[in-house]
Amino acid sequence: MNSRRSFIQKVALTAASIPLLRFQSLAAPPASDEPVLRVALMGLGGYANRVADAMKSCKKAKLTGAISGTPAKLTDWQQRFGIPEKNCYNYQTFDQIKNNPDIDVVYITTPNALHHSQVLRVAAAGKHVICEKPMAINAKEGQEMVDACKKAGVHLLVGYRMHFEPKTLEVIGMRNSGEFGKIMFFQGQCGFRIGDPTQWRLNKELAGGGSMMDIGIYAINGARYMVGEEPIWVTAQEVKTDPVKFKPGVDETIQFQFGFPSGAVASCLSTYNMNYLDRFYLNGEKGFAELQPSTGYGPIRGRTNKGELTAPHVTHQTIQMEEMADIILRGKQPLIPVNGEEGVKDLKIIDAIYAAVKSGRKEPLKLV
């Protein structure tokens, strides 16, 4: 473990901050002698199924395990994805994963409020962790998760699929090349009308909040990686039109605004009560970029002042897992960080947004 730990520490130390990052090439096929990342999925709901299906196309990552509280789901997954029974666990037994040489990393796709304790348990078992976003329900929890994984010498990555999306990276590459000039403004509209009112995403105890935790975080991500700076203040305004569906602590719609050190500003919308949104817009002195749709499962579409974006669509979860294999196994530095520290920054912003809603005032942010 010692050499791995020192390697990981080196990765953490050299991880470039967003403004300095270079444009990366898409994942190249692995050399035949390179190891494949062996993944166990924890929490076998709809999103885990999407990830598992997407991983069928992966060359660098492979689904080898599953963790669920529902025995029938484990049986089903064994059949559908060829997972051996010995690699299946439930929430009482999964600490034993530390003795399983077939699993390198556990990808947690459970409800938000469970991430903290589950990440700590996986880290204690000595396995790497990929935690679906939001990484936790507040920055304090997130930092504890980062600290625990660092102490255990394991990678902690956050399931930020858009951070690997080709058209998104095409825009960031253009920005880094100066094609838009000085960046002035970002606008991110993220939301959808959520269905079933009994789902965990509308339960404060499990979700830790409402639309902001689930979909608003994409606008936060977008503001940060599109502008290429860290915001220094945030203001936010909440409205709730359906207090029956959206209980106290579960935000329906929040508008929020950022200011950046350069003077650039951002205007964002997070909502569980509107369709026909999903747009990123980046404005610079010399040009603009528009992604619309910007965060759906794709294909993402977009244009700039130079014309249509041309990067090809790839299933988001496929390329995410390919890239995460390179990060975990080969120390690759992604264009946009997806590590726990990055997740904590987003949680600090979410904490500040909720604080700004309550205070009605501009809340300062210190992310660097």
Shortest gap between Cβ of 271 and its own copies (angstroms)? 7
Shortest gap between Cβ of 351 and its own copies (angstroms)? 19
- Distance between CA atoms of 87 and 347, rounded to whole angstroms? 32
Query: To which H or E segment does residue 61 belong?
Result: strand 61-67
List residues binding its own copies (CB under 8 A).
184-185, 187, 189, 193, 235, 237, 239-241, 253, 255, 257, 259, 262-263, 265, 267, 269, 271, 273-277, 279, 281, 283, 285, 287-288, 305, 360-362
Given the complex with its own copies, which of 64 and 253 has the nearer CB atom? Answer: 253
Given the complex with its own copies, which of 251 and 323 has the nearer CB atom? Answer: 251
Which of 48-52's residues contact partners 24+ apart within 8 Å by CB, and which partners? Answer: 48/107, 48/109, 50/297, 50/317, 51/107, 51/109, 51/317, 51/321, 52/77, 52/80, 52/81
- Distance between CA atoms of 18 and 84, rounded to whole angstroms? 40
Given the complex with its own copies, which of 84 and 364 has the nearer CB atom? Answer: 364
Shortest gap between Cβ of 86 and its own copies (angstroms)? 50
Given the complex with its own copies, which of 224 and 279 has the nearer CB atom? Answer: 279
Shortest gap between Cβ of 266 and its own copies (angstroms)? 9
Given the complex with its own copies, which of 110 and 255 has the nearer CB atom? Answer: 255
Given the complex with its own copies, which of 231 and 337 has the nearer CB atom? Answer: 231
User: Could you tell me the two tokens for 185?
Assistant: 């403004």
Shortest gap between Cβ of 309 and its own copies (angstroms)? 16
Q: Which residue has the tokens 């166990």?
A: 40
Do β-strands 363-364 and 307-308 pair in parallel, antiparallel, or remain unpaired?
Answer: unpaired
User: Could you tell me the two tokens for 4?
Assistant: 């791995």
Shortest gap between Cβ of 91 and its own copies (angstroms)? 39
